[in-house]
Chain A
Amino acid sequence: MTEFVRVSELMPPGHVRTPAYLRGKMGLIERPLGRFGNPEQLAYGLAADKQKLYRVRFSMAEIWGDGAENPDDTLDAEIFAHWLTPLETPDAS
């Protein structure tokens, strides 16, 4: 996986551990965390696939736009690989 990623802008029903405020946002992989059971299956007692999990770093400017308190501050969150699309460059959309 390349370093820059974009979080899918999906709003599926059910138990999801990708926060809504990060959907559609671009970030940088901070570190891979290994494989973990997919919470979208675990939550319903289903046999869960092991999915790659990444810690992704976002700038506050990317998340909140002009409303950012300090654009250069950052936020890290854990996002599963099936929510991430690799980007060639930070500007690709």
Chain B
Amino acid sequence: MPHDHPDHDHEHDHLSPSGHPYRKDQDAPLSYFQNMEIAIRELLIEKGITTEAEVMATINQMDSRSPADGARVVARAWVDPAFRQRLLDDASAASREMGYDIGALRLIAVENTAEVHNVIVCTLCSCYPRNLLGLPPDWYKQKAYRSRVVKTPRAVLREFGLDLPDDVTVRVHDSTADMRYIVIPKRPEGTETFNEEQLAALVTRDSMIGVQRALSP
């Protein structure tokens, strides 16, 4: 019985016979805002302003975006100095130049160097360059990350396994208004002979948020 073992109940009692954790059924009543979303969506469809197919297509498009898109942008910047400059000047235009339909996204690229390490947060909500990187990780949206990374970024980065030397300046970027940010991580050593595709495979989602380095080959 779960109630007999309050200290370690979910580890043992919520596993299926094959060892997978059960996920609770989502059968709670709809919340106020879930109801409102359904009502507005149905009205928009009823009045012919949009269609079910259009809504599904948009959801599918959002789901299809992934950090791989951003990784290709970073890899291009590593191999093409002129593109790197265009990316730093106007990251939205540079992303579109590579064929990414990023909508109205206003993107700023910030570059990690030997002297500077950048890390992205949105303290007010969970702003994230979704149109280029897909959906944000859960921790990015949680208060622990959002409140701590602006005050003790080095301690937070250490928890991600990134211990920065004192002579590297940490720059935290709080996405407070209309801009979204992407970190261009440092190109890993030993990749001089790599092509763009091989380089892109080293660029992780977390390295573009700035909580990790790009992978070493």
A residues bordering B, Cβ < 8 Å?
Answer: 17-19, 21, 33, 36, 39, 53, 55, 63-64, 67, 69-70, 72-80
Contacts and interface: CB of A to CB of B under 8 A. Distances in A.
19 contacts: A19-B124, A33-B177, A33-B178, A33-B179, A39-B177, A53-B177, A55-B179, A69-B151, A69-B155, A75-B150, A75-B171, A75-B172, A75-B173, A75-B174, A78-B174, A78-B176, A78-B177, A78-B179, A79-B177
Interface string B179-196: 100000000000000000
Contacts of B166: 70
B215 to A, nearest CB: 25
Contacts of A73: 153-154, 169-172
Interface in B112-155: 123-124, 150-155
A76 B122 CA distance: 11
Q: Contact size class for B?
A: 20 to 34
A36 B179 CA distance: 10
A36 B155 contact: no
B172 A53 contact: no
Contacts of A36: 177-178
Interface of B: 106, 108, 123-124, 150-155, 166, 169-179
A76 to B, nearest CB: 5
Which secondary structure dominates where chain B touches chain A?
A: loop
B110 to A, nearest CB: 8
Contacts of B151: 64, 67, 69
Nearest to A57: B171
A84 B6 CA distance: 52
B124 to A, nearest CB: 6
B123 A19 contact: yes
A42 B2 CA distance: 48
A4 to B, nearest CB: 18
